[in-house]
Chains A and B, each alone.
Chain A
Amino acid sequence: MNLPIAIARRVGYALILLLAVLVLNFTLLHLAPGDIAETIVGESGGASKEMLAKIRKDYGLDLPFHEQLLNYLDRVAQGDFGHSLFFDQPVTELIFEKLVPTLLLVISSLFIAIVFGTFLGVFAARRPSGLLSQLITVLALLGYALPVFWTGIMLVILFASLIPIFPTSGMDSGPLGASGVGYIWEVLHHMTLPVVTLSTIYLAFYSRLSRASMMDVLGADYIRTARAKGLSEQIVIFKHALRNAVLPVVTFAGLQFGALFSGAVLVENVFSWPGLGTLAFESILRRDTPTLLGILFFSALVVIIANLLTDLAYRLIDPRIKTGAKA
């Protein structure tokens, strides 16, 4: 099977997954105890009778379940995820505003974790019982056991009062802040602590993964051949071994995108980062169900796209992978 067909198949499958997410959203809404109209309104400012009646009519709550579901899917297909009563804005608008900051946070953290993690892992693999290897083991334990939001809070305490060199809240300095290049610098400055917090967990993970994978690769015959023909250690490691050792790292990067989003929800709330996680928390406080369901859908969409890109990256790094074979 050639590449375009394989990609088309993956995209088709992704669409089915998205449809399933919508069905799940709708089913959860219906399984929840209580009046659906009231669940949808949430507890924001006590909805009026007219408001409830309007929602019942909009959602067709007197129709049988499958008809309601079709109506819901129809609305979603037109980009309508409902109206957030608390923010008084369509849910889609609300989410698109917050999606970019979240992606910025998640992608930078993943990038830093992968680059530094691979770097650490590759060097540690050369001396499996050396100091660096032990450091990675300790880092991995910390990364597993530290609650990420607590690490963030500790950093806030440290950097807000003791060493005030990084801002601990928000994404920029507000309307009085800089513009143009100055603004980019400002965002980077604000990003530092959230990104450090979020990437620490995954840094340990990727350094362990790449160490194990590098140790496997360094034992392979073709590495011995490369050394035997007198290539420098640099070339052997970075040109011959790294390319193969990095494959599992790529696989996990795609798989972990969902988990990374979960971490981002917590980290965003610690640092008041204006993204989806902060929005999700606000919708919990207001019991704003349409917004929360919308966030769940759009983050699933991002994860699915990330998986597709990973798949593509994998094929580019390792052309031997048969197109069409599923992961």
Chain B
Amino acid sequence: MMISDKPARPDKQVAIQVERPWLEAWNMFKKNRAAVAGLIILSSIIMISLLGPLAFPADPFAGAGPLLSPPGERGFLLGTDQQGRDILVGLLYGSQSTLMVGAAAAAITITIGILVGALAGYYRGWVEEVLLRITEFFQVLPPLLLAMVVVLLFSPSIVTISLAIGIVSWTSTARLVRAEFLRIRELDFVKAERAIGSRNARIIWTIILPNAAPPLIVSAALSVGVAILFEAGLAFLQLSDPNVMSWGYLISVNRPQILEAWWPVTFPGLAIFITVLSVSLIGDGLNDAFNPKLRQR
């Protein structure tokens, strides 16, 4: 959900050559303390998701103690749920599927968005007309409902859920990429490339796309967060892979007991919130790093 509906950079071609652009970007990123905190939190969550299950080898679906034991008692740091499952173990194992679906769905979102946006912005004419119509079509369908239909019809699994989320959330990326292509295709270095007879594919992928990367990187980071929320929402509606533990699943199964036990629902929700928050902070930092002109805002 980005607000920048304007081109991310001014239309004038700025002839500033940075010697090492990635180092420069990292320096800008470092200045944003919240973004660095977000990066540290997210890296820790990824590490925990990789190492946690190794440290606590257990079946996350199996009961481990008394039902609904409050947090901190009987050796269960975060308590147990209505089937006696250890919430902490559930969170550790659940982080894997949550992060995996988040990354996969965001990758699909970005891929479709780039393809549609690049072709529409570069070729214009009827190609653009058709692709814009398709984009508008997808904007009319409430994304969660469409994802629900797809997942229900093709039965929930990590693959169908990632695909469904990707299919319903690419439209804003496509619009962003198209806007960037419309702007960059008129710049001198692209015209020069065309004048020397480069093939369209080369111009699109190796000349224009890298120059459209800065706003795209920011939008990619944000779509990871959106995808994680989406996955949690689908799991809350009981559309999650029945064989894979996830944070949304924990919330969904423990919801009927919220008035007796707050912890089995509160902790997974906090985990989702912290993860998405860290992704969003990183997104802000990337924005500072790659779109420095916008920082004055």
Q: Enumerate chain A interface residues (CB-CB to B < 8 A).
A: 17, 20-21, 24-25, 28-29, 31-33, 39, 141, 144-150, 153-154, 156-157, 160-161, 205, 208-209, 212, 248, 255, 258-259, 261-263, 265-266, 269, 280-281, 284-285, 287, 289, 292-293, 295-296, 299-300, 303-304, 307
Please indicate the chain A residues that have their CB under 8 angstroms from the CB of B276 in the complex: 144-147
Question: Chain A interface secondary structure, helix, strand, loop or mixed?
Answer: helix
The answer to whether A304 touches B145 (Cβ under 8 A) is: no
Within 8 A of A (CB), among B204-231: 222, 225, 229
| Complex partner residue of B150 from A28, A33, A39, A208, CB under 8 angstroms | A28
How far, in whole Å, are A287 and B155 apart by their CA atoms in the complex? Answer: 10
Are B251's CB and A149's CB within 8 A?
yes
Q: Say whether chain B's binding surface is mostly helix, strand, loop, or mixed.
A: helix
Looking at the assembled complex, report how far the CB atom of B129 sits from the nearest CB atom of chain A, in whole angstroms: 10
B251 touches A284 (CB 8 A): no
Q: Cβ of A157: which chain B residues have Cβ within 8 Å of it?
A: 258-259, 262, 266
B3 at the interface (CB under 8 A from A): yes
Q: Is B70 an interface residue, CB under 8 A from the partner?
A: no
Count class of interface residues, chain B: 35 or more
Stretch among B18-26, B56-64, B72-80, B236-244 lining the A interface: B236-244
Q: Which residues of B contact A146 (CB under 8 A)?
A: 273, 276
A292 with B149: CB separation less than 8 A? yes
The docked-state distance in angstroms from the alpha carbon of A241 to that of B136 is 31
Q: CA–CA, A160 to B255, complex, Å? A: 14
Q: Which residues of A contact B251 (CB under 8 A)?
A: 149-150, 153
Whether the pair A141, B280 counts as a contact (CB closer than 8 A) is yes
Q: Is B1 an interface residue (CB 8 A)?
A: yes
- A145 & B280 in contact (Cβ 8 Å cutoff): yes
Do B142 and A299 touch across chains, with their CB atoms under 8 A apart? yes
User: Which residue from chain A places its CB closest to the CB of B272 in the assembled complex?
Assistant: A147
Q: Could you pull out 9 A-B pairs where Cβ atoms are within 8 angstroms? A: A17-B140, A21-B140, A147-B269, A149-B236, A150-B251, A153-B258, A160-B259, A255-B139, A303-B141
Q: Enumerate chain B residues within 8 angstroms of A248, measured Cβ to Cβ.
A: 5
With known contacts A258-B143, A285-B238, A299-B145, A150–B273 Cβ distance under 8 A: yes
For the complex, give the distance between the alpha carbons of A21 and B266 in Å: 38
Measured CB to CB, the nearest residue on chain A to B4 is A212
* Contacting pair B146 A296 (CB below 8 A): yes
